[in-house]
Structure 1
């Protein structure tokens, strides 16, 4: 007798059984508790990110009205932005772990409203992960993508914020029901479930604290001894300050500076040699230099007030801005505009020394800009031209 092979019947959708998740830590109460922390972190990141973006790239109507005080303003907001962004990594991962079983809900789409809800969640998850990941790589100065980081990061920040607002609106009844510690549906939980949730939240908080303590020292210098995981240490670098962009990377060498002159254009243009610049009345200021990557450190600077240079060229301090040009051959911030408020501030200097020493080549020798409440990328190094606007 000939045996015929048995043919398997094709699988049908009705035969599919999604995995079952019965752990209470995947419930709405846990998701809401973690979501409160995560939402707060994203709100702080968004608000401080707006400050950073508009200080770096102000629209024309705002450029002459940006405040140079308090001098530590940008140091605070950008340090908080980066510290909060790093801390948000932990609750984001915990939140995703808490809600991922919902990806296996069957059927995947029950109605048009359910489809739109799932699409909004997908957009929220994708944009949040993208924002945190690209921000993390930015502070490490690693850019493995073809697009410009700043405009994309800024645009996606609005997408994340809108997605969070939409998510809260859609989930408002569920969030309200599980907001309080003893919310409806959790009163009868077994003691071990409540203990597990408490342990998860305590562990999440401890991880957030550990990440913060080992990274925030790059901007909060009293904690610099604990700065173990941050990509920068505030004391490491030429003349005791970190250096993001070296002279070699900028295409500036000692040879190219042998014939350096400072050109100041305006109604009464003039040119200064380095000796002539050093002979002008000097001013000193103790100002922080704060980088967009999150590190910051205070230092002593000495040089010529920018407003004195502008006034000598026939400009009007308090009314005229300045365009600053660096000797670096390439770079997005080779040319920088300084608004009238900054030009008029007595602490805005064309610095010649750092902590009592002549600027090193990596810190912008022979002259660089230092101004209060201003991103480090706009503290232009290797200045050779000031143009009164």
Structure 2
């Protein structure tokens, strides 16, 4: 054994003969995968800007339509879910190219392989971490929001590079229906139409059985959604409980709302209830993809800002009673703070807020991510 040495000699890879490993199959799937990924990217960037708006954008983000975030985030999660079986089918159709010999034939070929490596790695990362986020499971040491956002741009760059390198083959496919560079010898195998129908069925199944968490009409089909809006305290699910936030009935026993501005004011719960009360039916739409409309009642935020000396162009900062948390402090741009639908809510679906839903008071505003609908509000500041 000591004198033996094994040597791996270079040679041609295994020949793949199945007819479905070709350009027609890959292109047919790629069209829908590209559409899903572009939609997922666009709605994801919008969600990121709504959660973490740069200074120049904060006062320009619209508060209407009031259902806007419910629609865009529902599309984000649905398109990302649909992309999972599409990406799997696409990789199956093109994986023989991983065994192409020689590995690099030219500078252009090297760019193509780099773009594919970046595209596949970024897509797998985005879809897997995004799926785990819908379950609120984070088995990694990094900040999900920041890294997920950064890798999305890496994915876009890899896609653009890939399209640029592959443009001649794409052009040939659409103009001459040429089999292109992905073609492999045809042999007996599953029919392409059956394969594409199977992929379509897989996409439809995973989408329809999860989209009910944000599309009310699909609620009866929601078998695998991580959260069912049909179940929850006071008719609304709870993401972050009072116990998780460290808020108790004892800590809210002597609660006062401080509204800080040119004319600071402190209000008790009874004084807030004595102010003009307004009602609104608004959805609570969470970044995990679920959403549900509810009936809210309380005091308009703009009335509170005005009482503390804020003008018609005032923005607001909201501080929660919770001791720690990524969204313990939240800021509202002018359009949100001055919208008559933005409430410091005291009641939910005709009942006093439960502790898990933000008692004694919480924010509810139109077209906002759920993480910015601050619960257990202790302080408002005029900006």
Query: Which band: TM-score by shorter chain?
Result: over 0.9
The structural deviation recorded for 1:185 is: 4.1
Q: Structure 1 residue 247 and structure 2 residue 269: aligned? A: no
Aligned partner (choices 352, 355, 364) of residue 358 of structure 1: 352
SS at match of 2:337: helix
Q: Tell whether the 8 Å contact from 1:369 to 1:380 is kept in structure 2 after alignment.
A: yes
The structural deviation recorded for 1:17 is: 4.0
The structural deviation recorded for 1:111 is: 2.6
Counterpart-to-counterpart distance in 2, 1:185 and 1:160:
26
Per the alignment, residue 13 of structure 1 pairs with: 9
Counterpart-to-counterpart distance in 1, 2:6 and 2:317:
72
TM-score by length of 1: 0.93
TM-score by length of 2: 0.95
Q: Structure 1 residue 327 and structure 2 residue 321: aligned? A: yes
Q: Tell whether the 8 Å contact from 2:211 to 2:222 is kept in structure 1 after alignment.
A: yes
The structural deviation recorded for 1:79 is: 0.4
Counterpart-to-counterpart distance in 1, 2:333 and 2:109:
50
Counterpart-to-counterpart distance in 1, 2:381 and 2:44:
30
The structural deviation recorded for 1:113 is: 2.8
Equivalence map 1:212-227=2 (5 Å): 212-227=207-222
* Rg comparison, structure with higher value: 1
Aligned partner (choices 319, 332, 345) of residue 338 of structure 1: 332
Shift in CA distance, 12/293, structure 1 to aligned 2, threshold 3 Å: closer
Aligned partner (choices 96, 105, 111) of residue 100 of structure 2: 105
SS at match of 2:282: strand
Q: Structure 1 residue 60 and structure 2 residue 58: aligned? A: no
Counterpart-to-counterpart distance in 2, 1:338 and 1:119:
42
Counterpart-to-counterpart distance in 2, 1:334 and 1:190:
60
Per the alignment, residue 208 of structure 1 pairs with: 203
Per the alignment, residue 131 of structure 1 pairs with: 126
Q: Structure 1 residue 261 and structure 2 residue 256: aligned? A: yes
Q: Structure 1 residue 30 and structure 2 residue 12: aligned? A: no
SS at match of 2:57: helix
- 1:143-182 per-residue CA deviation (whole Å, 9 max, x = no partner) reads 01111111111111111111111111111121233348x9
- 1:95-148 per-residue CA deviation (whole Å, 9 max, x = no partner) reads 111111111112212233322221221111100100101100111101011111
Equivalence map 1:160-309=2 (5 Å): 160-179=155-174, 183-185=177-179, 196-309=191-304
Per the alignment, residue 374 of structure 1 pairs with: 368
Q: Tell whether the 8 Å contact from 2:17 to 2:186 is kept in structure 1 after alignment.
A: no
- 1:22-70 per-residue CA deviation (whole Å, 9 max, x = no partner) reads 1111111111111111000011011111111111111111111211100
Per the alignment, residue 70 of structure 2 pairs with: 75
Q: Number of aligned residue pairs: give it.
A: 379
For structure 2, the residue ranges without an aligned partner over 5 or more in a row are none
Q: Tell whether the 8 Å contact from 1:350 to 1:369 is kept in structure 2 after alignment.
A: yes
Shift in CA distance, 12/61, structure 1 to aligned 2, threshold 3 Å: closer
Per the alignment, residue 83 of structure 2 pairs with: 88
Q: CA RMSD in A?
A: 1.9
Counterpart-to-counterpart distance in 1, 2:131 and 2:266:
43
Counterpart-to-counterpart distance in 1, 2:156 and 2:225:
26
SS at match of 1:232: coil
User: Where do 4+ consecutive residues of structure 1 move more than 6 Å?
Assistant: 189-193
Counterpart-to-counterpart distance in 1, 2:137 and 2:179:
46
Q: Tell whether the 8 Å contact from 2:281 to 2:296 is kept in structure 1 after alignment.
A: yes
Counterpart-to-counterpart distance in 2, 1:266 and 1:12:
75
- 1:62-92 per-residue CA deviation (whole Å, 9 max, x = no partner) reads 1112111000000000000001000100100
The structural deviation recorded for 1:192 is: 6.7
